[in-house]
Structure 1
Amino acid sequence: MSIIDISEVNPGSHVTLHYRLSLADGTELVNTFSERPATLMLGAGQLAPPLEDILLGLKVGHHSTFQLAQGVAFGQRNPDLIQRVSLATLRENGMVGDDFNPGDLVEFNAPDGGRFAGVLKEVNETSALFDFNHPLAGQAVAFEVKIIGIL
């Protein structure tokens, strides 16, 4: 039987923390420092895996900012994930009649029963162009964390 050290963040830990995620240019995406801290379970998909990996081994009270190069936090942009979807397919998914505009995030049913999303780029008479990359794919980000508690 192994003993897990709860004085530091481990896989499966419940971590209460403040965090700020911003683009390299300083554009803030998420900031819990001005509100209640977040409590996350590592491995549950609440943060991107590379961000979770940064937390591993940190102790209560740790406060620092990590710079992640382009594509590290949310993967590189993949041109194969920019795809046309026929309006017939959108109809089959019950999406005709919905008012979509370029820039909208649209969720789809996956064949395995899950869900996935794409950003609508354009619509024409027969199809719609979607970008299924994560919206932050290919971006450099700064990830500031302050660990408040670990369970």
Structure 2
Amino acid sequence: MRELAIGPGTKVTLHFSLSLPDGEMVDSNFEGSPATFTVGDGQMLKGFEKALYGLCEGAREEFVIPPEDGFGAHNPNNLQIISRSEFEPGLELSEGLMLSFADAQNAELPGVVVDFNDDEVTVDFNHPLAGRDIVFKVAVLEIEPAQVH
């Protein structure tokens, strides 16, 4: 094992899981192939990356990542009320239904139906994990110097 620690300029291979404090699993690759990323390449949220700083190969850790370092705080401004007439007439709405919308730049924007009636639909455009603490478990398999291009 090398003594290289995770930080800027390192390429990291690890197993990880994301879960909620109540134990509900959000994502995990412990049963599959490990993930590899270069610190700072944008594949991983900065708050999750920073939690890894200083870890060495073989480390197994668990962190609680607060919303401000994870998926952000829940922003009430991201709740939008949309006229029911804007939706397909045959679309069966239900609370929790995730729909795809287009933003001003025509990029795909997911939204979750949180309330609806015959006239209006309230859609939450916050990330589904916004405002939540995330339990981040990692097993560091390999750390190597990043290749500079």
**TM-score, normalised via structure 2 length:** 0.75
Amino acid at match of 1:118: G
Provide Cα deviations, 1:36-58, integer angstroms capped at 9, x if missing partner. 21233544544333112223443
Which residue does 1:121 correspond to in 2?
Answer: 114
Which residue does 2:105 correspond to in 1?
Answer: 112
- Tell whether the 8 Å contact from 1:71 to 1:139 is kept in structure 2 after alignment: no
How many residues of Structure 1 are paired with residues of Structure 2 in the alignment?
142
Q: 1:13 to 1:129 in 2, by over 3 A?
A: farther
Amino acid at match of 1:37: P
Provide Cα deviations, 1:39-84, integer angstroms capped at 9, x if missing partner. 3354454433311222344333222111223554211111111111
- Tell whether the 8 Å contact from 2:10 to 2:38 is kept in structure 1 after alignment: yes
Segments of 5+ residues of structure 2 without an aligned counterpart are none
Which residue does 1:3 correspond to in 2?
Answer: none
Q: 1:73 to 1:111 in 2, by over 3 A?
A: same
Which residue does 2:73 correspond to in 1?
Answer: 76
Q: Does 1:132 align with 2:125?
A: yes
Q: 1:87 to 1:12 in 2, by over 3 A?
A: farther
Q: Distance in 2 between matches of 1:65 and 1:20?
A: 9
Amino acid at match of 1:33: F
Which residue does 1:58 correspond to in 2?
Answer: 55
Q: Distance in 2 between matches of 1:97 and 1:66?
A: 45
RMSD of aligned C-alpha atoms? Answer: 2.7
- Tell whether the 8 Å contact from 2:46 to 2:69 is kept in structure 1 after alignment: no
Compute the displacement of 1:143 (Å): 0.5
**TM-score, normalised via structure 1 length:** 0.75
Helix, strand or coil: the match of 2:26? strand
Q: 1:83 to 1:28 in 2, by over 3 A?
A: same
- Tell whether the 8 Å contact from 1:74 to 1:137 is kept in structure 2 after alignment: yes
